[in-house]
Amino acid sequence: MFKFEELHVYQRAIELSVQIFEITKKWPQRYQYNLADQFLRACLSISLNIAEGSSRSKKDFCHFLSIARGSAYESIPLITIAYRLRLISKQEKEIVYNEINSIAKMLSKLRTSL
């Protein structure tokens, strides 16, 4: 097991990506190659940057955590757009929004702790 796999924020980022895959696969085809793809890439980027950054120096890891947090922030307008297009329910939006917010806060705290 790699050290980053033990990080709670990494585990939650993985779960978020799985959740987004499940949500977006139900979307109409016309949204699959723009909104869904961008949303998936943004969410995937969170865990990928945690993993890649963990293999670097502390300074570089902090930088990768900032990039991961930026990807979390990037997901917020995407979830808002999906809601406004009625691709997701208000409840789904709130659940995903709150999870992204929690992950972003965890990334900030991890970065500060380094």
The string of DSSP letters for 46-83 reads HHHHHHHHHTS-HHHHHHHHHHHHHHHHHHHHHHHHHH
Mean pLDDT of the chain: 97
pLDDT tens column, 33-47: 899 999 999 999 999
Mean pLDDT, rounded, for 101-107: 98
* Protein fold of 3-113: de novo design (two linked rop proteins) (1.20.1440)
pLDDT tens column, 64-95: 999 999 999 999 999 999 999 999 999 999 99
Question: What is residue 78's predicted lDDT score, i.e. its pLDDT?
Answer: 97
> Domain limits of the chain?
3-113
Residue 1: which pLDDT band, with cuts at 50, 70 and 90? confident
